[in-house]
Amino acid sequence: MRKGGPVSDREWGDMPLPDRIKDAREVLGWTREILAAYSGVSVSTIGRIERGEMQPRAGTIIALAVALGIPPEELGEEAGVQLRIPPDKWS
């Protein structure tokens, strides 16, 4: 996916993880179905995460981040997930 695009340049501050995922998806103009296709995460799981009904596992955060073109550690930062992945591994 793209690096340095509109999503990776976002400043989320204290935005909770569900809102970060939804914001990133909407910035790209993607539906949940498109994100599901790129990430391999089901549409229903993405919906549950975005509504705050479930806390995703680290692997799910990584899959969503890679699909959205965001460093996984940046997306998972608020969730307290310590994701330390070299940038060359998530692109």
pLDDT number for residue 32: 97
Could you give the domains of the chain?
Answer: 17-90 (1.10.260.40)
- Percentage of the residues of the chain whose pLDDT score is greater than 90: 45
| CA distance linking residue 21 with residue 49, whole number of Å | 8
Confidence bin at 52 (pLDDT 50/70/90): very high
> Looking at per-residue confidence, does 5 or 58 come out higher?
58
The kind and range of the H/E element at 77 are: none
Do the beta carbons of residue 86 and residue 22 sit within 8 Å?
no
pLDDT of 22 above 60: yes
Helices 58-68 and 43-50 meet at what angle, rounded to 10? 100
**pTM for the whole structure:** 0.76
Rounded-to-integer distance, Cα 1 and Cα 48, Å: 24
What pLDDT band is residue 75 in, cutting at 50, 70 and 90?
confident
pLDDT confidence of residue 4: 42
The number of C-alpha atoms within 13 Å of 69 and in the hemisphere containing its C-beta is 16
